[in-house]
Amino acid sequence: MLTHRNTCILFAVLIAALVVLNINYKIHWLWFVPVIVLFLSIEFYGAYFVHSGFHIKTICKADTTDKLVALTFDDGPMPERTNSILNLLSKFNVKATFFCIGSRIKGNESILKQIHEQGHLIGNHSYSHSNLFDLKNTSHMLSDLQEGSKEIKRVIGKEPLFFRPPYGVTTPGLARAVKKLGFHTIGWNVRSLDTSIKDKQQLVERVTKRIQPGSVLLFHDTVDNLEFALEEILNYLNKNGYRVIELNKLIQKEAYA
């Protein structure tokens, strides 16, 4: 499997070989350019596509042939919007996992409690979810993630083990922080793009055509009127013999420490 570690080793060997060739045969410096460009391209792909597992081993779907899926929601808790999602999930009697931003918990403790009391799972989605999060060093990331977990534990009395990287971006620094905290890093294999797709039917079609046994579906409980598209998706799952189950049961990992 292609990872950050073996990629660095491979390209270090290639660069060393080019250096030796340059010393002995005076090769043109342009030989270095494609090697460096390829290295940076692989690193970019590995960082921005969470399913690659390039920096962090990430669970994006379950290995099963059974028609089981899990629903996940990012970026809450958000007044009214999260409540609307909770009402719909209750109507269909299904459970989901909410990856919460720690800084949004203060003042919205009642929503977090409601999520927990209704039997849904809560995961860490960082404390800050800053645009610059991925540029921070390991120490800063570790502190940020610890603060996010602290806020969740303050409200529900449980420390989350499920973690979803902000924006789905991973880095070597984040990998070290996640390893130290013992998180299970959760990705997805069905990305709804609900934050950018405004047409309900387009959103429904995008999601339903990608669903397969073991799928982890990504939504955001911060999107206006998402429940209307989500209701159609839940009806599709029911009609096609799929069952929505808790993420911990789907991937067989503990949700809390």
- pLDDT tens readout for residues 65-93: 999 999 999 999 999 899 999 999 999 99
Q: Is residue 16 part of a domain?
A: yes
Q: Which of 74, 75, 144, 221 is catalytic?
A: 74
State phi, psi for 77 to the nearest 5 degrees: -80, 145
Domain identity same for 33 and 148: no
Return the pLDDT at 141.
96
pLDDT attached to residue 66: 98
Domain of residue 74 covers 58-251
Query: Which phi and psi angles does 57 have, rounded to 5°?
Result: -65, 120
Q: Which residue has the tokens 């669970």?
A: 59
pLDDT on residue 26: 86
State how far Cα 180 lies from the chain centre.
18
User: Pairing relation of β-strands 184-186 and 58-59?
Assistant: parallel
Give phi and psi for 168, each to the nearest 5. 75, 15
Beta-ladder partners of 219: 73
Consecutive H or E run containing 40: helix 32-48
Our answer to whether residue 63 is catalytic in this structure is no
Q: How far apart are CA 157 and CA 88, in angstroms?
A: 25
DSSP reduced 3-state for 184? strand
4, 125, 129, 220: the active-site residue: 220
State the total domains in the chain.
Answer: 2
Cα 149 to Cα 134: distance, rounded to the nearest angstrom: 18
**According to the model, what pLDDT value does residue 214 have?**
98
Segment 219-232, tens digit of pLDDT: 999 999 999 999 99
Is residue 70 domain-resident?
yes
To the query of whether residue 199 is one of the catalytic residues in this protein, the response is no
Residue 218's pLDDT is what? 98
Q: For residue 159, what pLDDT is reported?
A: 98
Mean pLDDT, the chain cut into blocks of 10 residues (257 residues total): 83 88 86 90 84 91 98 96 97 98 97 98 96 90 98 98 95 96 98 96 98 98 96 98 98 98
pLDDT at residue 110, as a whole number: 97
The answer to the question of residue 256 being in a domain is no
Asked if residue 79 and residue 201 are part of one domain, the reply reads yes
For the entire predicted model, the pTM comes to 0.90
**CATH number of the domain enclosing 156:** 3.20.20.370
